[in-house]
Structure 1
Amino acid sequence: MIRYRKLITLEVVDKDSDKPIGKVFDAIYSKDYKKIEYLIVKNNNLIRNKAPIPYEDIKLSVKIRLNI
């Protein structure tokens, strides 16, 4: 489980091009607050800088980095 404070710091990356889209800005919950319906992603686009993405379209990927 990911806490909200940790969730809003995550970077969103396009799965096909592996390029950053933006960062998670907020979350929209279901009416009973039991699950996330959408994640609001904020990017640097001047005109439309916040976009809702359905939660079922999101896949969590963890990159492991070793610092030696």
Structure 2
Amino acid sequence: SDDIEEDSNVIMQCVLNRPIDDDNIPVALLKNSKALSATDNERVKIERDGTTLKVQLSNVKLDDA
């Protein structure tokens, strides 16, 4: 694993076996089994592009771990 500095931005990416064609299927980042979605938290940005999902968390804090 990489060390991440506090107040930096983190990008996590995953590649799926097939694309999610339906924008109504929710995608969310979970913390302690609770969704931390882009609509709930301005620091979270979720992008979909075919089979690639990218989650960006801005201004990370130790509490985000």
The TM-score normalised by the length of structure 2 is 0.27
Between Structure 1 and Structure 2, the one with more helix by share is: 1
- Using CA pairs under 8 Å that are at least 6 residues apart, name the structure with larger relative contact order, 1 or 2: 2
Give the TM-score normalised by structure 1: 0.27
